Structure formats: structure tokens, C-alpha cells
Structure 1
């Protein structure tokens, strides 16, 4: 054998040629790796499974109704595919990733920017821009620059993207101490800051700004790092599913559905008044308990969530049964003399009579707007309670003229303030209207209502 090789001067080239041929045959015979969970399988099975976490930003249940920003987006995605949505819950990103890699779900939707240190996962295009913020207690010394974080102790949740950001700060010379809390969410840590149990945490802006209303003593301090996008995650070998997710987000941003879902949870997060909110929280502990039984009874009779009625009463009178407005509206729900008389009220200062009459009147208004759906119907009724049916009618007519939907609060929140201008109120049947005040009235009730719902959800 070796003698033949020595006699053949071309043997090195022959060997290389044979090697190339063998490699080519092996390469051509290999098939592309199949998609781990083919999109066709999801469509054929008729269902898709979301992996997420149980909190006020992702997924929760309130009054036997499933909701949450990520849940609503995922439900919209399932509808987009024409399939049913299933949900699997995990405590943190590490657990969610494990479920994904073990094919217990098809995608992760959990208000995350990335999955630190994870292989085998692909992230979608970004669907919402956020930023990380330092959170401190109102009584703490203000942190005016990143350099002031040196030597500080910052508490973060386990397996979050905040760990990476703090590592970047450390690399840039900002030495600080990190304490990782395995079973603590961003919400939990913000609450602990507000209560003075820890000094500092870090949170995404959407979480931070929403939590201010729940915990007014928590301050959203300086931003850290660059702005980032929230993303969904799939297994790396699921390109068709990933493409479908990206197409979905592009579609709902164009048709307005993303904005609708966003506004459902985050529309008023920029609105913050520490004095008002702190006063409200104190009233929930001191004043509300005196009248809660009456409120619950009246709300049940007329089929409203009692927390909504409590929120409206606070906006009307701050739970003061002797309240009297400049226009002589009286009592807890600020009944006018005409309304009180029509509802058989003999003493507007009597909390029980006033509350029952006010809720009955709200129900009457609610029933009038039967063409509107869900929350829009409620907001139209509240607007009519505040400013009168006539002005709401004018605002709806103006909405029609502007090719806006008169049954949507998003339309009337634009047209009601327009009725302050002579150009519009001169043509309106019921004339001038302080519509901006009504828009603010609804906004405040929504915030107060959300705080009460949050207490129920978190069992505070």
C-alpha cells in the first residue's frame, strides 16, 4: 500500500479530492433542522400557550375576569391566528425560560426586554419602548446622578435584566452592592421602598410609573442605561412563529388595537399628584370603612363594582357626607336638588339616602348608552353624571360631525373640551360646557378605581 503511494506522485491531490467528495455528500444529505414547534401544529391543534407571570402588568384575575396587558396582547395574538389562548404561569424569567425550553408553552410574554444568559431563544421585534429607573423613598436623599449610586445597596428580583444593567454600572466604576430577592417582583420591591423597608430598587418605567399611584411614597428617580423595547420570546428553532409574532405587532400598531390595549392599562400613568394620592390612600383607611357597607349594598343592587362607586364618591366628596359644592350639589355623591327630589331623597346629607340615589341615577344614565360597549358605556354614564346628559349629547353629535365614533370615550374626551370654544358651543343645543373638567373627572375616577382594584388583586 505504502509502496503504491510512494510511486504515485499525485497521491496527496487524490486524497484531498476524495475527502472533499465525501464531505460534500454528507453536507447535501443533511436536511435543515425542523422547527421545534411548527406553526402548522399550533394552527391544527387550535390553541397556543402563553408563558407569563402573575402580576398587574402581565396576567391576573379580577371579578372572575382574566386581564393584564400581556394577557390582552396575547389574546389578541391568538385571535389573529384564529386559535384559543392557554396560559402557563411561572414566578420568574428563569422558570419561564425553562418552561419554554421544555415545550410547556409556545412563547413568553412577560414585559421583558431580554432573557439574560439564555441560549436557544429568539426574541421578537420590540413592541413598546421603556427605560429602567432607580426607585427611592420620598424621604430619602435625592440621587441626582449615576455617580451618587456608589456604595449604595440596590435590591433587584432574581433573573431580571436589571442584573445586567447593574453589572454595566459596576464595569464603569460605579461600585454598588446588589441584593437579589428570589421571590420578589418589581412591584413587591417598589412597595418595600415605599414602606421604608429597603432603600433602593430598579424597575422598568411602565412598572415604576404605574406603581406610583399604588405607593405614592415611592419616587421614580433618575433613568439608568439606554431605552429598550419590550419583547416576546420563542425557541430559537421556531422562525415561522417568530415571523408571525412580528407581523402581528406590526398589524395591531397600524390598526390601532395596540393603542387600545395600551390605554386600557397605561393611559394615565403620567398623571401623578402626591398630595391627592396620599390623601386618597389615607381616606381608604380612615373614611371609607364607615360607608363601605352602604356602598357595597347600593352597588350590588344596581349591578356596579362597589370599588367604582367608592372611587366616584371620593372624586365627588372625598367621603364627606356634609359636602356642598359651589353649585349647591349636596352630600356624598353631590346630588343636585332636582335630581335628589326626582329620586325621592328627603335628606341629601344622609349618607345612605344619598348613596343609593346617586348609584340609582348612575344606573339610569348607564342604561341610556346601550349602543356603547363595556368601559366606554361606563365612562359615558359617568360623564353625563358629572356634566349632564345634554352636554354629552352635544359632544356625541360633534363626534359624528368629525367622523369619530360617538359611542367611544376616546372620541368624547376630544369633543367635550371643544365645547368650551365659542366656535362649537354656539352651534350646540345645550351650549357652553366645561368639558375639560369632565375629562379630568373621568381620569381621576379611573385612577382611584384602579387603586382599589389593585388592593383587591394584591390582597392588601
Structure 2
């Protein structure tokens, strides 16, 4: 008898589960995507590795698309699971097969994609830029690309755009390369293996400092980016995402994320970019072990410490400023004494002391401040002093801003040089604008070092083979 009940129970359990899911839909219809994610307790995202969408830094996964989707998952009360596709072809295959719930990777909304997938309202707009080598004749229009080799990533919006443009310019020589990221495409153009490539404007903004010998010739077309879903009769998950993105845009949160991830890349200096690449190849290797050692003892990412050192001295151990600070981390005499440094021009001592001093600033800052904002504020304190940082945080709170958000505090730091503001503070006048620039430049160098550390900047041999 017990065996009979056990068999009946095993048959009834899936029936009960399906009935419960049917009740969730409110109509007795089969469960849809929203039911499935709640049943699993997680939202599964397909994305690709890119500094504009999803990557890892010292604080874990981040990127504009990742942060947006993570917020959506939290709103639904779900955990976020990320599946990193190797290329766009795999990403869309995962979505089409139903292996993921949503695809977000800076995906442009295009006519071809719209025939296969549902997509949300746009959350960002970009331009598709034609990239060429500086020193070569700059093309001004599409007809001038005829007969030249153009490389793009297979399955990308840029590849689709060129296929349509070939109807008007039939002699375009286009090679679509599977899995070719922006850095690989730009490396092919830099090396002369290709004449041109197409790159989205936001990706170009982040990568141009790594490829200072390349520039944008002209904009081929504009497009909008959205999240993609597998088409279903009941589109409740899609509609929930649509409502979420609309609120995020109207509240200004999307704009804040754009400033967070892209603002410190909006200034381009050709000479500085070339110098950074040269110094990264020639100077950084001498001190890399010391940065690793200091990172291990302080808990910071070694690339962050290296970025600080580059901002301070351009990795010149003998650097001396007009005010007397010196060495790789440009320590003052007072800081050197405080940190026990006997010789400020000794690279190992300078790096260790600079890292320890940054850790000291970080530890003094309110631990309720989330990362990465706490690190950015520690860097500001490293530059302008902890007292002035706290003054700026108090001004932020008085002005209705969030004193735990770097983007809000940085605006008040700029006010510390104005008498009508610094007279309200405990520590008085400060060159807050200098600290803001200081943090912005370190963010810029750090992003470059993270990306260069993960990618050698050269296209894979398999991609090169496809060009022959």
C-alpha cells in the first residue's frame, strides 16, 4: 500500500506544480517567461565581455548593461545569473533556444534582428563610425570605401548595416569575422591588414586611447540599443523590462550610469594616449612586481595602484614636482615620514607607502559607502585630504544629493574653491576641481590597464587566417 501511495505521489507532484504555475498566470494557460523566472528564482542574462557592457574589476562584475539588468532582477526579487557568450552568434543562439531569459550586450535594434526577436524601448543611442588609420587619406563618404577591405564582427549590427549598404555601394569588400571584438578589429586596421572597420561610438570612445593611431572618418548611421527577448504569446517579462527601462530613463538613472561608465573617457589627447601606450610597454614592466606586492598587502587591485602611479609620475621613479613631492607615487616629505619611507625615490618604498596611505584613506571613509564609490572617494581624499572630502559630502547632503555617491560628491568638490561655499565648511578652501580631475584620470588609466591586462590587443591567429 505504501508503495502505491508513493507512486501516486510521484505522479501528482509535477501535476500540482504545473497547476500552481497555471494559477500564477491567472488563466490556466501554460507558464510564460515571467512565471519561469519566478519559479527558478533567477533571471538568466546572456551578454558578451566588453568594457561598455560587462566586465570584471576589483569589485567584481560591472558594466552598464550588467548594472541595468541587475537592477531589473532585484526589482523582480530574483538572483541574476550571467552567461558570457563567446560571440554574438552564440548569444543569439542561446536566446533563440530559450537557454537564457534576456540578452543585453549593447545590442542595436535592427530590421533583421526585429524579425527574430522582441526588444525593449531604447536605453542608449549610438553612431556607427567608420574607423581608419591616421596618416592615410580620410574617407568622407561611403563611395570612397569601394575596393577597400573592411572588417566587422559577424552577426553584429555593423555587419548587417554593411550588407544593406552594399546595395548602394556594390563594390564594398566586407569580411565578417566571428568573435572579433572591437580591440581585434581596430588592431587589424592599425596593422594594415584591413583598411577600415565599423565601431559603435560608445565602444570607440572607450578604445580610442588604446589605439591612438586610429580615428573616426565619418558616421555611417545612427541606431538605438535595447534588450532582446525570445518571442512568446504572453510577453509579461518583456513588458516588465519595458516598464523598468522607461522608469530608469525618466528618473535619470540611465544618464547617471552613462556618466559613471563613459564620462571619464570623453576627453581625448592624442599625445597623452600615445605616451601611455609607450610607457606601458617600456616603464611599467620594471615596477609590475612591486605593484603586485603592494596590492597583496593592501587589498587593492594592482592595476588601480599602477593607475595612481601613472597619474602621479607617469611611472618615472625620479620625478620631482615644483612643490617638492617626488618619486613614483609623488610623496610629500610629511607623508613619507608618516609612512616610514627613508628614500622617496626608491620605487619599492614609494609604491608600498602610496598603497598603504591609500588604504588608510579608504579605511577612514564611511564603510556604508558602496563600491566603487568608496574607492573613488578614497582617491579624492588621497589627493585633496580627508577633511575636504568630508566637507564636500556634507555640502552634498545639504543640497539634497547623496553623500555616498561619488557622482554627487564630485559636483560639490568643485564648489570648495568658491567663498560662498567653502566658508560654510569646517576645513575651508580646497582645489576640489583638481581632485575631481585626479580621480577621473585614474579611472581612465585603470580602465585601460584592466582591458590591456585581459587582452593583448592583437587579433587571434584564427581571425588572421580568415583574412587570407
TM-score (norm 1): 0.86
Q: What is the CA-CA distance between 1:156 and the residue it aligns to?
A: 1.2
Q: What is the CA-CA distance between 1:130 and the residue it aligns to?
A: 0.9
> In structure 2, do the counterparts of structure 1 residues 79 and 165 end up closer, same or farther at CA, with 3 Å as the change threshold?
same
Consecutive unaligned residues of structure 1, counting only runs of 5 or more, are: 1-31
> In structure 2, do the counterparts of structure 1 residues 418 and 458 end up closer, same or farther at CA, with 3 Å as the change threshold?
same
1:351 matched residue in structure 2: 347
Q: Which has the larger radius of gyration?
A: 1
Q: Secondary structure at the match of 1:112?
A: coil
1:125 matched residue in structure 2: 121
- Aligned 8 A contact 1:69 1:261 in 2: yes
Q: What is the CA-CA distance between 1:416 and the residue it aligns to?
A: 1.4
Q: What is the CA-CA distance between 1:355 and the residue it aligns to?
A: 1.9
- Aligned 8 A contact 2:260 2:407 in 1: no
Aligned residue pairs, count: 428
Q: Does residue 213 of structure 2 align to residue 217 of structure 1?
A: yes
2:72 matched residue in structure 1: 77
Separation (CA, whole Å) in 2 of partners of 1:208 and 1:336: 38
1:387 matched residue in structure 2: 384
- Aligned 8 A contact 1:149 1:174 in 2: no
Q: Does residue 407 of structure 2 align to residue 410 of structure 1?
A: yes
TM-score (norm 2): 0.85
- Aligned 8 A contact 1:321 1:349 in 2: yes
2:444 matched residue in structure 1: 447
Separation (CA, whole Å) in 2 of partners of 1:430 and 1:300: 34
Q: What do residues 272-318 of structure 1 show as CA deviations (whole Å, max 9, x unaligned)?
A: 11111211111111111111222221221111111111100111011
Consecutive unaligned residues of structure 2, counting only runs of 5 or more, are: 1-26, 458-468
Q: Does residue 196 of structure 2 align to residue 200 of structure 1?
A: yes
Separation (CA, whole Å) in 2 of partners of 1:459 and 1:172: 37
* Range with greater deviation from structure 2 (432-441 or 392-401): 392-401
Residue 176 of structure 1, aligned match among 148, 169, 172: 172
2:266 matched residue in structure 1: 270
1:298 matched residue in structure 2: 294
Residue 375 of structure 2, aligned match among 369, 378, 381: 378
What value does the CA root-mean-square deviation take over the aligned residues?
2.4
2:432 matched residue in structure 1: 435
1:106 matched residue in structure 2: 101
* Range with greater deviation from structure 2 (111-120 or 386-395): 111-120
Q: What do residues 399-457 of structure 1 show as CA deviations (whole Å, max 9, x unaligned)?
A: 23212222322122111121222322344443332222211111110010111111222
- Aligned 8 A contact 1:116 1:161 in 2: no
- Aligned 8 A contact 2:327 2:345 in 1: yes
Matches within 5 A, 1:45-56: 45-56=40-51
> In structure 2, do the counterparts of structure 1 residues 120 and 347 end up closer, same or farther at CA, with 3 Å as the change threshold?
closer
Q: What is the CA-CA distance between 1:98 and the residue it aligns to?
A: 2.6
Separation (CA, whole Å) in 2 of partners of 1:64 and 1:423: 37
2:14 matched residue in structure 1: none
> In structure 2, do the counterparts of structure 1 residues 51 and 294 end up closer, same or farther at CA, with 3 Å as the change threshold?
closer
